[in-house]
Structure 1
Amino acid sequence: MNTSFKAILTLVFSTLLIAGCSRKKDNFLSRNYHAVTAEFNALYNGYNALELGRENLNQSYFDDYWNVLPIERMQISDEVVLPGQSKNEDFTRAEEKAVKAIQKHSMNIEEKEKNPQMDEAYLLLGKARYFDQRFIPAVEAFNYILYKYPASDKINQAKVWREKTNIRLDNNELAITNLKRLLYQEDLEGQDLADATSMLAQAYINIKSLDSAITQLEIASNATKSNDERGRYRFIQGQLYNELGYKDSANMSFDRVIELNRRTPRIYMISAHLEKVKNFDFENGNKLETSELLADLEENRENRPFLDKIYHQIAVFNLKNGSDSIATAYFNKSLKERSPDKTLTAKNYEILGDMNFDKSLYRDAGLYYDSTMGSLVKDSKPFRIIKRKRDNLEDVIYYEGIAQVNDSVLHLVNLSEADRVAHFEAFVQKLKEKAEAEKEEKERQEALKRNNGLVTVNNKTGNPNIPGGLPRQGATFYFYNPTTVAFGKNEFIKIWGDRALEDNWRWSSRSSGGVSNTGAETVDLVATASEEEKFNPEFYISKIPSDKKVVDSIYKERNYAYYQLGLIYKEKFKEFELAKDKFQELLKSNPEERLILPTKYNLYKIYEALGENDEASIAKDEIIKNYPESRYATILSNPELLSGKDENSPESLYEALYEQHENQNYAEVISKCEEYINLYDGEAIVPKFELLKATALGRLNGYESYQNAINYVAVTYANTPEGLHAQDMANKVLPKLANKEFIDESTNLTGHYKVIFSFDNNEKDKMLEFKKKLDEVLKEIKYYDLTSSIDLYNKDTTFVVVHGLKSGQVAKTFNQLLNDEQQKTIQEPYFAVASSNYQIIQIHKNLEAFLNVYNN
């Protein structure tokens, strides 16, 4: 009975309590009930979710130490979020809790809020929206606090957060005005002062007022209660001093970061040390002391997560100090750390590329630039700069590749039979040793598999091979089991071969295997050979070219590559020693006759540039004596031709031919282009003549001739601007020109039309006289603005074309526009054609097909 009475009493008391805690009643019980419930239920859970979201945000944020750090670690995403969606579930939950607190515990009685926790709820609401990057709704929440709760103890926080949001909205000037007013009107202390001044500093940084930002950061670093923030603010101060060029002041700021030591995140201390090294004065500074500092940073075990940055800075320091070999080693060590900092990786590759470029190792430089671009954002400004460098190396890499491969093949061709056997026996022996090692490794792995078994997702008992021997529940991570790792390595080697740990490892040119001088062909042969062939030296010897025509073609291709490399080194890179070596090697290799004279002339110019006057004089006399009728002999005999415009120079001849092309003398252009291509074979002007010839062939003979000629230029001169242009034409223009279907003129009588008068090419005088009369008649025709032109159709026919007609019916009855006197003057037969069909006729030279369909 007592138990029942207590239960009833408790129920009645609870009902009275709930009824007495109405949000509409302004009494002590209601106010405290809703305040306590809001604070320790909805708001408590909401702030927990907010902090969890902030922690995740900080962990996912990657600071870019190559630029001035932002005051606040927060990654702004460009991702579009639809209404009702969120970028982070934790912030969504925090917002929901804030809304719940407002909806269920707000006591807005007589337009006054009686629950003292509501300002906290709106502050949580604004913060959740801010971190969820919904800045306009966040401003609304903060403004509501300022409007509704002017006496709140959170009012200063709300003002600071509103200006943080304004800064995110790029309203920097407004934020500066409001924050300066706040600092003037309120006596802020502690964290409130730190938050206000740090945000003011961020606004100043955004508008490039760096000196004002430094002042505010000093106040913030002294006022903040967080050593994390203090280290960041002081580091940013140092960065700003560097931006202003005050290296001594910057170093003092970095020293203050270093003094914090373990009280602030270690990344700030390491970065401060490295920034001081960047500011090192190589003329007056103590190099030994700085070297020892870098060595200490490298050897400290606590700095292992930052070795990528440390190695890079050691490399840069040694590079500036003239120790190139040490610098190269440390740049490579930095790359091996697999840094998550893409900018750091790109800089390592770029500097290595520049070092190879300075050493004239252009092919290696090109590969490093390729890797650099792989670490940069595509189409960004740094990407375009590196791409421009890389494009300048395209030709030299291409021809160096040809020369290297062909030299390797020719080396094997010229070996005696005994030397060939010895060479490939050594090669096969290495293959056998490698195969034996792979077999032993495979047997070892199979034994491990039998003893331990592969780890499965149901392994709940742990694995003794896991580091530390600790059992792991559920699925075991792949890399914790050496059996699976070794199996994976084996499979990788089977598929890809033995590849170095570097970017772009998939490239076939990077596969390691084979022997020097065998080239990529040997590696490919190994991959395709049967087990019996793979270990038989005679198999490889049988693949060495023996046919004289094949060997001659290899020599020819190699010699042409040498010639092009000589030109590239001489003209593009001004590497006269490299160019001289290539040209001299070419002359020793029994080159084609067409390459000998231009090679000797280029050698003469190189000797002059290097100040080797005796050699230059010998080369000059030889050209004049042995090739007296050549253009080069004329230039050497009459140096004054070089000071003015040489009408016989390839450039002048090309300009004259281009003018002929504009005048529709296509047959003459084609003939002369062929003549000049043979005359200047091997020179840089040849692709220009080829492209001009292709265009003239298209205009004279039609689409098929143009297609063949363009494809020839694209393939034959692939690494020249003309070849690239031809390839672009083949990809983009030719498909659009391929259509030869006429539009139906019987139904489409509107649009642009032309009237065509046809003349035989042998009747040039008659055609010109007719055009003169036609132009006089067209001037007198009223209501139409008509003009005429002469268009070559093919080698036999030329058209006189009337332009400006916009009706098919009018075009077909063109003679009716003329009066009787004019009709006596213009008596030549004509036909009408739509402009689009006329274009097809000119492109495909299919006039007869058109007239068969529309014989008008």
Structure 2
Amino acid sequence: MRLTSLVLLVLACVFITSSCVTQKKKDEKVTKVGKFFHNVTSKYNAYYNANILFEKSLVSLNMQTKDNYTKRLNIFKYVNAADTSAVASDLNSAIEKNTIAITLHRPSVWTDDCYLMIGKSQYLKKLYEDAQNTFEYIVEEYDPEYMKEKEAEINAKAKKKSSKKRKYPSKKKKKKKPSSKKKSKEDPKPEPIIDPSTGEKVKPDAYFLKHRPAHQESRLWLAKAYLEREKYGDAERLLYDLYRNPKTFKDVKAEVVATLAYYELEKREAPIEAIPYLEEAIELATSKDSKARFSFILAQIYQEQGDEAKARELYDQVAKLAPGYEMIFNSKLNLILAGNKNGTATDAETIAALEKMTRDYKNLDYLDQIYFSLSQIALRNSDKTQAIEYLKTAISSNVNNSVQRAEAYLQLANLYFEDEIFVSAKNYYDSTLLDMPITDERYEEVQNYADNLSIIATNIEIINYQDSLLTIAALSPEDKKKLASDILKEKRRQEILANLSAVDDAAASTARVPALNNSSFFAYDLKQLKKSQREFRRRWGDRILEDDWRRSSKVSFSTVEEVQIDESGAIVEEELSDDEIGNVLQDVPSSPEEISAANNKIMNAMFALGKAFRDKLEDNAKCIETLEQLLVEYSDFGEKKEAYYYLYLANNSLNDKVSAQKYYDLILKEFPESTFAQILTDPDYARKVIERETQIRTQYDKAYALFQEDKIKEGCDMVAEAKLLFGEKHTLSAKYALLEAMCKGKQDGKPAYVKALREVIAQYPETDEKLKAEEMLRVLIGARYDPTRKRAGEVDRGLNKNTVFKAEPEKLHYCIVIFRDTEMTLDEAKLKIAEFNKFHFKDLRLRISNLFLDPESKTPIIVIRRFTTQEKAMEYYDTTVAKESSFLGKRVDFEMYPVTQFNYREILRKRSLEGYTEFFRANYLN
């Protein structure tokens, strides 16, 4: 009996296993047991887990995208996510899981869902073309009607096949199945759906206990992909078909109307047409968050249209749905601003209401938005000064709202640009770019403003700084000393006050939070908290919050200076040393040569500034003003001919023919042989110049192509031919010289190559080709090529004779690594150095530590100790140079210097490497 049971069990297992084997032939019918296996495995092993990853990615993208409440909100936050790389790993995993499931379990009814998940994951990754192809495949291959026909065809083939195999008719009579008619009478009939186009009853598709096809949802997502690829006609066709079809599932219909609202609002920019879809989306949405979001967007539209009653009703609805305080706060804020905009509330009433909001502790995280709104009221009243103050307060009050901060920065940048305060405008445009999402439609425009103002701001700063130095240079020695003393005292006073207020500010911010009386946690007891703060300050003083704050010996520690207070409560200032005053005045020119150099810097900056006003901003008036001032103040300016030419062009653009003729005549009179004179007198001159430049470029491209094809001799011949045709001075001279050096390297070997590269470096010092030549030398020489390294017998005239550093070749040495890399962490760098030391310098038993050179910049130093002499330290240095890839790597940003103990202490004392680089080159690399 036991044996019989065992045999039956084995046979059952074989039967089930054979039923679960993956389908081999396309149209082969799968048994019911096999079908069950494929369905369960596909759903729970693949689709379920992939769906979790997809939902997680969707939430992550929504959280990444910060809402900008100064504009109309987006329907779908995830569409506007700037960076999908953070979720790429999860989405790739979801795609992989579903791909495997499709391959191994194609007979499963979940195969269409797996394809859908792949397409949705591609959509979130912004691979819209791939997503479109995936959705189109599902829509075509997994249409329910087509699937029914296909299944019927497979069943028919299977039946035909089984009838052929059956040799004898079955002797057993089939049991009669109970009639289903009686049962159907007992079941309640589903409510009929009326087709609005025909008025006929449409039978609904019921999937209560059955798998629901993914066909409708695939059509919806295909429409979404079409929208992102700007195939609006195809998208409309699909969306309207789903919208009007009475068989569309309710959850799909809810997403369809939301997508139609998205299309009208964000693609067609037709907010009025979006209203009915948003109203229906609110009704069909199942989550409170979605209802609140759609209600808020609809309220914004009504507010834009001036329908305050409907807007107020919807904002109240948002508050009842309670999706989170941020949206509730913005509902209240928008209602206040709407009243001001449509005239039901005066500016004074609106300002009073906004100021009242600043006093509500719940709004502490939203003060930036309130002050930004106040700035807009000030701007409407043409009060720029007040608006700028509000905007700056908005920025300083900002907690963590990068979108709102970008709006404030941009507004300030535009205001300063309008007032032609270009340095401030440039700085605020730069700040805007740091916070503005790259997907913002204004990003490119802001980038252009920042780039164009860069050269203008730089030259304005040069002019102002050098002009200030010349003004100080003209003062008497006593006045100079007094000015330096005043500057230092004010700087010291500000630092002391900032440090003293650090803890008070923290206490004040804590005091604004209401006491949590029901909690027993000590930090929620304000009395206990203040008592602890007083005890801390009594024992430790006012300290900045930072790592290792108790350590007194660390180099990176920044202490608060000891402050003396007199009887009146004022800070008693210490006397300043001559060295401190000298440091303040160190850039002030004192000799005639230095004064002349300062004036030259001003001249060059004014010239560059005048040209930039025309070239970058197309501001011809500012160009004329700057260049004419330059020619008046510096009559001996060396580039007059180009200044005249720019003045001619700018006056011509302003249609000032008299002034343009004046500079035309000056060019022909003072510089008759110049290029500018030829351009003015010969209409074909510019064309000839362009043709010559084209010939030079073409000749170079041909020579370089020959070099790449390893036709070295032909390439060299073309370079030599170019010298005869175009001379050695033209716009591509450096490129030709570097190509010639590379040809010599191929033909004549390494010595000739090195010599030719050195000639390129010497002849073309301010070019990209010089940098490339230096890189090539580094590779050839097998060490870090140092262009400033002294050759034998060469005297170093650049070394400061008053250096504090000492040359002590026989004393103990360390090697210090200045680590500036942002890709590799400090711990990773230390680990790599330790591995390098273990492999190459195991016998020295070198130790590694790190500290920070400067507490402000937090520049880390890795200290490798110790070496008995300079020679031993340089052996280590040369080995790291020769084996750079196994040390930290060629792409890592670092510098290394051997130092004596004395010089190491000097570097730490100064918290700077200033002067040591030159000392190192002179004493170690000679």
**Using CA pairs below 8 Å that are at least 6 residues apart, which structure has the higher relative contact order?**
2
The TM-score normalised by the length of structure 1 is 0.49
Tell which structure's C-alpha radius of gyration is larger: 1
